[in-house]
Amino acid sequence: AQSVTQPDIHITVSEGASLELRCNYSYGATPYLFWYVQSPGQGLQLLLKYFSGDTLVQGIKGFEAEFKRSQSSFNLRKPSVHWSDAAEYFCAVGAREGGSEKLVFGKGTKLTVNP
> Which residues lie near another protein (CB under 8 A)?
32, 34, 36, 42-46, 49, 90, 92, 94, 96-108
Q: How far is the CB of 97 from another protein (least distance, A)?
A: 7
Could you tell me whether strands 19-21 and 73-78 are parallel, antiparallel, or unpaired per DSSP bridges?
A: antiparallel
How many CA atoms within 13 Å lie on the side-chain side of 96?
7
Q: How far is the CB of 51 from another protein (least distance, A)?
A: 8
Q: Are 25 and 107 in contact (CB under 8 A)?
A: no
Q: How far is the CB of 16 from another protein (least distance, A)?
A: 30
What's the helix, strand, coil split of the chain in %, to 5?
Answer: 10, 55, 35
34 versus 113: smaller Cβ distance to another protein: 34
81 versus 91: smaller Cβ distance to another protein: 91
